[in-house]
Chains A and B, each alone.
Chain A
Amino acid sequence: MLETINRSGTTTRGDRTRNAALAALCVAIVAIAVGYGAAFGKSGTPVWAPWLLAIGIPISLGAIMILGATRGQNGIGPLKLPFLFVVGVLAIGFCAALALPATESPLSKLWLGLPARAAVVIYGIGLLPIVVLPVAYALTFETQTLSAEDVERVRAMGRENRERGLLAKDASDREPSA
């Protein structure tokens, strides 16, 4: 349904990655919408509604990151693993919090000072992605995000834009007297 534009008419790996990410984002947003919509029912929020958000949120975040990280005609290269890891950590964390029984008591075993389900949320969802994503971003920056050549290409285009702008301004300044 949603496709990227490729003026050469061929479909590259980058196009396929973007299309997959867009489709995933779209489906995830629909799932989240259904989850919210269900909460408006007369009998209150059904048990399955939070599960749609628990799955939809990680997928939507992963999809929009993949959409942003896809570069030119290439896909996301070595970033596949970090993205998969983080989407997995978030989804597993949310689902574990929903699925695990409530056993918190003064006798609960503590994990780094917190009961198990709280530890999953605070350390899993809140801290694990920090160890992976920003580091992956930095380590792949030149190859996957931005190189000095990229910046120079854009700067050259900027110079052309400014020269064209000056030429257009000169032409419009001359027009009334012509």
Chain B
Amino acid sequence: MGLRTPMALLQVALPSAAQPAVVAVGVLYFGVVVAISVWAARRTRTASDFFVAGKGIGLIALTVASVSVSVSGFAFIGGPGFIYAVGLGAMYIVLPAAVTNVMGAWVLAKRMRLLGEARNLITIPDAIGARYRSPAAQGLAAVAMLVGIVGYMATNALAMGVVINSIFGVGLGWGIWIGMGVTLAYSASGGILAGIYNDVFQGTLMAVASVLVFLFVLSYGGGLGEISRTILAHDPTFLGPWGKLTPLAALSFFFVFSMGSLGQPQAVHKYYMLRDPLQLKWYPLLKTLGLVLVLLLYFSVGVGVKAFVLDGRLAPLASPDQATPSLLLHVTPIILAALVFSGVAAATMSAANSFINIGAAIVTHDLPIAFGRRVRNELGWGRAITVLIAIAAAITAQRSGTMVAFLGIFGWGLFASTLVPALAVGLNWQGATRAGAIASMATGLVVTLALETAAYRKAFTFPAGVTASAVAMVASFLVFFLVSWVTRRAAPLQLDPDVQLVMEL
């Protein structure tokens, strides 16, 4: 089976869940979001407050917020559907969570947080610019991230519309504008501070919903053993180590979602925000445990619904994407369905808020620096750009149809292929050079866009198990090493003493 990129699975058509309990929980959810936003807006006074919460977020809040932005609506809807379709092979998208958080802590968290301390940095391109003493590298990183953010934002706007339409029955167009309007209200007024505390609420909601669904599925299915026996009797390949994927495809997922995690700005950007760098000590453990809780739904619904359909307790699904909605609307208590639907809205809104904020920082902070300028009122411009990005994303989502799916496809891969070598390796290897970083980011950007466009236009078909994201990330790594080696004499001249200190600690 060829790989279907997970982000594409966000674009599902959800059945209507507009029942009184679901609507009531939905209204309550939006009420809490608004209350948090009003509170945060009163505390946002500077650009640093707006973009990195004044570097003053505590450990627990940052951990829950980071879990929340790391999990999109895909984990609740598209992911279980993917397991239902291909079996355990779909788990290779989430299995890397066992190592990615601690890997990020060792490779990036300490150095980025300390760079923030030494240089007052607030963005990821800032870190690349400081590391290579290069506005050009900072600018290229900013452009690459902006391209990826366009895709993510449009996809999340559409996903928001789908979920809100399902909860309130207002139609897809209104769903997009309501979701984006609420997200925009708290993004523009309270910046990342509102985002973080909304993420804490949303992440908690997602974890509670996920654990309850997991327990319900196990109870309803008579335990994991019984569920497995039912599946093994009808479709043993489903519970094979690769499911119905080829080994190369499953391993490819693991590679892209493990190594690629080091380039995901919505998670990496959070490292700047921790109040005290020494609190990083417990961050990976807490975040990993949080992610495991949120991902319990992914596994249990995918496997559980397969068994329930096979033993006749659930009607066959119209499409794999209906696994979660079908279980929620036909089997679980309606209050649990209400919690999960609000959880999905929370997941899309928290991801959208994070990307809006990062995009605004790129436009008002990184791109001007790349051209040797500084914006005088970064907070004011940050708010204005936030509004523009949100409106542009909503219009794109509403008008572009299949183009949105295409934009969403390459987001993760683009961040991975452009940022991982230059940022993750570059912050830990003093021999990396400016030329290597720029060549690597350019390679990631060009290869990802070229291959994804060719595949989208059906001008080219990848062999089973190979994805554009994986090829682009590998190419970016190889170019980074090669060009850094060729230009190695320049390396010592491109390292400021404070950056070198941070890299040696």
What residues make up the interface of A, taking CB atoms closer than 8 Å to B? 1-5, 7, 18, 22, 25-26, 29-30, 32-33, 35-36, 39-40, 44-45, 49-50, 53-54, 57, 60-61, 64-65, 67-72, 86, 90, 94, 97-98, 100, 102, 104-106, 108, 110, 112-115, 117-118, 120-122, 125-130, 133-135, 137-138, 141-142, 145-146, 148, 150-151, 153-155, 157-158, 161-162
Contacts of A146 in B (CB 8 A): 110, 114, 277-278, 280-281, 505
Interface of A is mostly: helix
Question: Which A residue's beta carbon lies closest to that of B233?
Answer: A106
Contacts of B316 in A (CB 8 A): none
Q: How far is the CB of A29 from chain B (nearest CB, A)?
A: 5
B9-20 CB mask vs A (1 if < 8 Å, else 0) is 000000000000
CA distance A20 to B225 in the complex (A): 44
Q: How far is the CB of A8 from chain B (nearest CB, A)?
A: 12
CA distance A97 to B117 in the complex (A): 45
Given contacts A133-B284, A138-B282, contact A25 B425 (CB under 8 A): yes
CB proximity to A under 8 Å, residues B242-266 = 242, 246-248, 251-252, 254-255, 258-259, 262
Q: How far is the CB of B476 from chain A (nearest CB, A)?
A: 10
Given contacts A36-B470, A61-B103, A137-B105, contact A22 B284 (CB under 8 A): no
What residues make up the interface of B, taking CB atoms closer than 8 Å to A? 88, 91, 94-95, 97-99, 101-103, 105-108, 110-111, 114, 117-120, 223-225, 227-229, 232-233, 236-237, 239-242, 246-248, 251-252, 254-255, 258-259, 262, 277-278, 280-282, 284-285, 288-289, 292, 299, 424-425, 428-431, 463-466, 470-471, 474-475, 477-478, 481, 484-485, 488, 491-492, 495, 497-498, 501-502, 504-505
A53 touches B106 (CB 8 A): no
Contacts of B497 in A (CB 8 A): 157
B485 touches A1 (CB 8 A): yes
A105 touches B106 (CB 8 A): no
Contacts of A112 in B (CB 8 A): 224
B242 touches A145 (CB 8 A): no
Q: How far is the CB of A117 from chain B (nearest CB, A)?
A: 4
Q: Which of B119, B247, B464 has the most CB of A within 10 A?
A: B247
Contacts of B111 in A (CB 8 A): 68
Question: Which B residue's beta carbon lies closest to that of A33?
Answer: B474
Contacts of B247 in A (CB 8 A): 50, 54, 97-98
Q: Which of B106, B114, B118, B278 has the most CB of A within 10 A?
A: B106
| 24 A–B pairs (Cβ distance < 8 Å), ordered by A | A2-B429, A4-B429, A5-B430, A32-B470, A39-B464, A45-B248, A45-B464, A45-B465, A53-B252, A57-B255, A68-B108, A68-B428, A72-B505, A104-B239, A106-B236, A113-B223, A113-B227, A114-B224, A117-B240, A133-B102, A142-B281, A146-B277, A148-B278, A161-B118
Q: How far is the CB of A129 from chain B (nearest CB, A)?
A: 4
| Given contact pairs A45-B463, A148-B278, a sample of 13 additional A-B residue pairs in the complex whose CB atoms are under 8 Å apart | A2-B485, A5-B492, A7-B492, A22-B429, A29-B474, A49-B248, A102-B236, A110-B225, A122-B95, A138-B282, A151-B277, A154-B505, A158-B117
CA distance A176 to B70 in the complex (A): 50
A126 touches B110 (CB 8 A): no
Contacts of A161 in B (CB 8 A): 118-119, 498
CA distance A145 to B259 in the complex (A): 21
Contacts of A3 in B (CB 8 A): 431, 488
Contacts of A39 in B (CB 8 A): 248, 463-466
CA distance A18 to B427 in the complex (A): 12
Q: Which of A54, A94, A110, A134 has the most CB of B within 10 A?
A: A134
B98 touches A141 (CB 8 A): no
Question: Which B residue's beta carbon lies closest to that of A32?
Answer: B474
Q: How far is the CB of A25 from chain B (nearest CB, A)?
A: 7
Q: How far is the CB of B235 from chain A (nearest CB, A)?
A: 10
